Structure 1
């Protein structure tokens, strides 16, 4: 069997298909993970700072929640927008530059905003830029067709989301609530080496094909990979909402204890996903996809029905494991049978499927929380 999980390996400074990994060989994965992780921090980081933000902006808690909602919407819209504009004209380097500018502009608006509407607008701009940096990280990681570098980026993104809650609380305590809203600025620390890596794109690499991505949307392997990623992401982010509530209900713990334990479980799962990435070449594509789907189903069943808090946490960690591993590995499957000129657009659409799950998961969990008694 050939494919992104079996036919190529990373070796030294070169991939065995002959493409150079460039001067960042050996640290390309961590570099790109550092570029992508702050985007996830932007999702979770403001959570504990919202009450202080509401008081400072003289807004209701419900209205202040738009600081979170706007970020999710901005990420979902920013992914196709930057891919279709800066990405089409200037390639991955153009996406990185435009995304960095949006992150900086959005953060500036947030830091200076005198009222909630302007702060929400700044968060949306910041999120669009964060999404672009996330997509660019996966596009650059996609040069390693073994899936290991994309796997590291996915793990970094998952770790960023888990660590963002506590990072945001710490920054808010030290610098004020606005600091928790601009964590994506940390991506700019990786900007210079990321641009150097993006500028290494071979001149032989075909330019992105313009027009609607109908050929991508008709590709059965892309659709299968994107659909599985959407499922994994939806389940994972539903459990990030529901699992801590079940643990609290089963134990009587307060929000601090529950949040800490749930975060450790999710972080452990994200870190353990590296073992899945390493073992993927021996599994083959079909068995890997089956394992990802089964792992997500078992995780959901444990988190929703198990009467023991430890089992609920194991379910949450398992979901984080298969989601982080799947985001890296399935990105290769999504582009496997597409022309090189379509890979950038395909990665953007694939990550859009992931981001839809980020938004849909908590919404579905919230709906279930109101209608199903055992959640």
Structure 2
């Protein structure tokens, strides 16, 4: 690759990262605004938590649905346009909702659009078979999810709690250049009739399954630690939620940014060693964060998990599609990202269950 090509790939990666990062902010952005939302909507804090739960469900549903429908005849351009409409409509519902039920519905619509924007970013980044551009997108997505906690708090303080619930609207700032990039897509969308056998062929591809399974495992560990690691740090230090949240977020963000070094050395490692490194890194991160008696070690574990997750999301997306025909890449990346999103939902639930079990014992 020429120097100009590398610079162009970096610019493309940063553009697509700017598309994906606000979508990820929607996951964590409302966290600190939930008490205010509960008071304003006259509901309990537990009920207000549905504003976050609905986003996770919307992302999990929107990922395969929009990839399969909007992308079928209109390619990535269709995915981006459909996602933009859903994000905008969902945000309007959230901003105008007089009650919790409508606000939750708006969040689910917004999440479906945010998930599709994330998929579109990885589809466009997938043209770079070195993994560098997908790596930048993964880092941007991870950084957005980590920074969302503080961006959401700042926006809520300046504009009210509803502002923290519509952070995915920031993705639309990148809309015009992304649409130009999508319009220049060299491969034509698959216009042939879809059959269950063809789509299930993706799930019979051993390399796709291996990459998706590893992504599911790494993602589950990472989002379990996003729940559990700050609790352990608080227990070990006695810090309050603000101090704990700030330090834990810095650790995770540092790990996400350092994952670029993993992306850079990945071609020299080879596929087998890369997958082994990702699996081992995630396992070590889990052991450190759960068993280490020192707060610094817990934070190192959390940061290591963020590193392998951000790096793995970009690098494994390429591994998941490398042996599939080009016409199946869009659906394959959608299914791959669905595996990641299952980890987003499963991680905190498993961590919460484990915490309750340990306390019960």
Would you say same fold, with TM above 0.5? yes
Aligned length: 350
The one-character-per-residue Cα deviations of 1:25-70 (angstroms, maximum 9, x if unpaired) are: xx10000000001111000000000000001001111111100000
For residue 197 of structure 2, give the secondary structure of its aligned residue in structure 1.
coil
Aligned to 2:153: 169
User: In 2, Cα distance between the equivalents of 1:202 and 1:353?
Assistant: 26
1:1-375 aligned at under 5 Å gives the runs 27-199=11-183, 213-373=199-359
Between 1:135-144 and 1:80-89, the stretch displaced more is: 80-89
Instruction: From the two aligned structures, give the one with the greater helix fraction.
Output: 2
Cα distance in 1, alignment partners of residues 74 and 290 from structure 2:
46
Contact 2:255/2:305, CA 8 A, preserved across alignment: yes
Q: Distance in 2 between matches of 1:184 and 1:275?
A: 28
Cα distance per residue 1:219-244 (max 9 Å; x no partner): 00000000000000000000000000
User: Cα offset for 1:19?
Assistant: 13
The TM-score normalised by the length of structure 1 is 0.90
Deviations, residues 273-296 of structure 1 (Å, cap 9, x unaligned): 000000001100000000000000
List gaps (5 residues or longer) in structure 2: 184-189
Q: Secondary structure at the match of 1:372?
A: helix
Judge conservation of contact 2:72–2:191 (CA < 8 Å) in 1.
Answer: no
Q: CA RMSD in A?
A: 2.8
> Quick check: 1:234–1:360 contact (8 Å CA) kept in 2?
yes
Task: Please tell me whether the aligned partners of residues 24 and 144 of structure 2 are also in contact (alpha carbons under 8 angstroms).
Answer: yes
CA distance in 1, matches of 2:35, 2:295: 28
**Are the structure 2 counterparts of residues 240 and 112 from structure 1 closer, same or farther at C-alpha, using a change threshold of 3 Å?**
same
TM-score (norm 2): 0.93
Quote how far apart the aligned CAs of 1:149 are: 0.2
Deviation at 1:76, TM superposition (A): 0.2
Deviation at 1:212, TM superposition (A): 5.7
2:73 and 2:191 in contact (8 A); partners too: no
SS in 1 for 2:6: coil
Kindly indicate whether the alpha-carbon contact (under 8 Å) linking 2:33 and 2:161 is maintained by their aligned counterparts in 1: yes
Query: 2-side partners of 1:239 and 1:126: how far apart?
Result: 26
In 2, Cα distance between the equivalents of 1:202 and 1:252? 60
- For 2:99 and 2:140, the matched residues in 1 are separated by 33
* Residue 8 (structure 1) aligns with: none
Contact 2:153–2:164 (8 Å) recurs in 1: yes
CA contact (8 A) 1:304 1:374 kept: no
Q: CA deviation at 1:204?
A: 19
Give the Å deviation of 1:89: 1.6
The CA deviation at 1:372 is 1.8
Closer, same or farther in 2 for the Cα pair 1:320/1:374, shift >3 Å? farther
Deviation, 1:196, is 0.5
Structure 1 residue 203, shift from structure 2 partner: 18
Q: Distance in 2 between matches of 1:300 and 1:201?
A: 44
Q: Could you tell me how far apart the structure 2 residues matched to 1:135 and 1:108 are? A: 23
Secondary structure of 1:19's match? helix
Q: 1:112 to 1:149 in 2, by over 3 A?
A: same
CA–CA distance in 2 between the matches of 1:19 and 1:263?
Answer: 30
C-alpha distance after superposition, 1:353-375 (max 9, x if no partner): 00000000000000001012499
CA distance in 2, matches of 1:129, 1:309: 37
Distance in 1 of aligned mates of 2:194 and 2:349 = 44
Q: 1:220 to 1:203 in 2, by over 3 A?
A: closer
Q: Give the deviation of 1:213 after TM superposition.
A: 1.6
How far has the Cα of 1:256 moved from its partner?
0.5
Deviation at 1:21, TM superposition (A): 6.8
Preserved CA contact (<8 Å) 2:136 2:260: yes
Specify whether residues 201 and 272 from structure 1 end up closer, same or farther in structure 2 by C-alpha distance, changes over 3 A only: farther
User: What residue ranges of structure 1 are gaps of 5+ in the alignment?
Assistant: 1-17
Contact 1:334 1:347 in 2 (8 A): yes
